[in-house]
Every structure is written in C-alpha cells, then in structure tokens.
Amino acid sequence: MSNITPPQNGSAPSDTFPAPTSGVSPSGIASPFPGYYVAPHLQYLIQNPGSPVFSFEQSQQPSACANTSIDQGLYSEIMNKLCSIEKRQKSMDSKLGKLEHIKADIKIFNKMSVIECRVSTLDLKLTVTENKLMEIERSRSFDSQNCDELKSQLKHFEKLVSGQCEHNKILSGKIDSLNSLNSQLSEDIIDLQSRSMRDNLLFFQCAGRAIV
C-alpha cells in the first residue's frame, strides 16, 4: 500500500477515490465524513481511538470531527502506519513462504538421505552378489576343464577297451583252434598207444594157425 494524498474539499474525484457518497459506506456503516468515501478499516480506526495502531487523544472523538475536513498530518500518519503494517505482513508472508520452502527442502533432503542409504545398501549387496557369481564362474570353469579331461580319458579308455575286445576275439579264436588241435593230438596219441600195445603183446600156449 502506497501513501495516498487525501482529496481536498471541492476537488473533482480521481481514479483512486470513488465519487462522493451520501455519507453511508457500501457496508451500510455511516461515514464520519459526509460527502467522501472512507474505507471501512479507516472508519474503524477513527471510531476506535484506542486501537494499537495509533492512539488518538481522548478529547478527539469521531462525533466532534464529523463535520470537519481530515487533518493532513493525522491522515498521513494513518496511511504510513497502514503501509508499515502491510509491509510487515508481506515480509511475514515472504518469510513464511521461505519457511515452507525450507521445510519442503528438508523433507526432500531427508527422503534423499534415506534413498542414498538404501542405494548404498543395494550397491553393497550387488557387490557381494557379483563376487559370488565370479566365484561360481571360476568354479564352473574349473569343473568344465575337469569334465573335458574326464571326457578325453573316457574316450581313450573306450578305445583301449574296444582294442582289447578285438584282441580277446582273436585270442578266443586261437584258443578254439588250439583246443581242436589238442583234441586231434589226443586222438592221435591214443591211436599210437593202441598200436604200440598190440605189437608188444605176448601170447603163450595158444593154438592157432600159422600165418603164411
């Protein structure tokens, strides 16, 4: 609110003040200055000299100055104090706005702190998980190498077993031929033994014909 110079008696109405009234304000309260519009808060201040904004002398009553023009110094003092009040109110509103903004920033900071703590915890857990995965990969790589070695050894043993089976088949054939040969030799030996025993027989006192 800026300082406003009050209109003088008989001057034309300006854009700041409304046209002269019949002494009744729009709120229905009788104006103490007939012919001029007086804002309700100014009427209250004039009709209540004990207001904390400023103090009137007890001898000055609204009824006594109702038919006189507004004192320039008093009006300026009223407007200055009203401007001071308005400035203080704006300052308080600004400070309250800043305070609300600070509170919002504090809430955001607290939330960010909680989020950072959780993110740090997640980073730690992720690091532990990555270490475990690396250990599993190394173990898996070692197991894969062992598995490859076992596979190669198994193939080698399979080849050995296959070759041994072929050799066993050959040996089995040889054994069969040896068995058959042994059987033949046994028969030949028995025949030879029987022939030699016949030639070595001695017969005594046996009647018989002479063989020519």
Residue-wise pLDDT tens for the chain (212 aa)? 444 444 444 444 444 444 444 444 444 445 555 555 666 666 776 666 555 554 444 444 444 444 445 567 788 888 888 888 988 888 888 888 888 889 888 999 999 999 999 999 999 999 999 999 999 888 888 888 888 888 888 988 998 998 889 889 899 988 999 999 998 888 888 888 777 766 665 555 555 555 54
Find the domain containing 42 and state its range: 16-70
Q: Is residue 47 part of a domain?
A: yes
Q: Is residue 134 part of a domain?
A: no
Is the whole model's pTM more than 0.75, yes or no?
no
Q: Is residue 64 part of a domain?
A: yes
49 to each of 45, 46, 52, how far by Cα in Å? 6, 6, 9
Contact call for residues 20 and 26 (beta carbons, < 8 A): no
Q: Which is it for the CA torsion 103, 108, 110, 111, positive or negative? A: positive
Q: Is residue 3 part of a domain?
A: no
Q: Is residue 161 part of a domain?
A: no
Cα dihedral 117→118→124→128 (10° resolution): 160
Q: Is residue 55 part of a domain?
A: yes
Tokens encoding 2:
């800026």
Tokens 């003088």, residue located: 8
Number of domains in the chain: 1
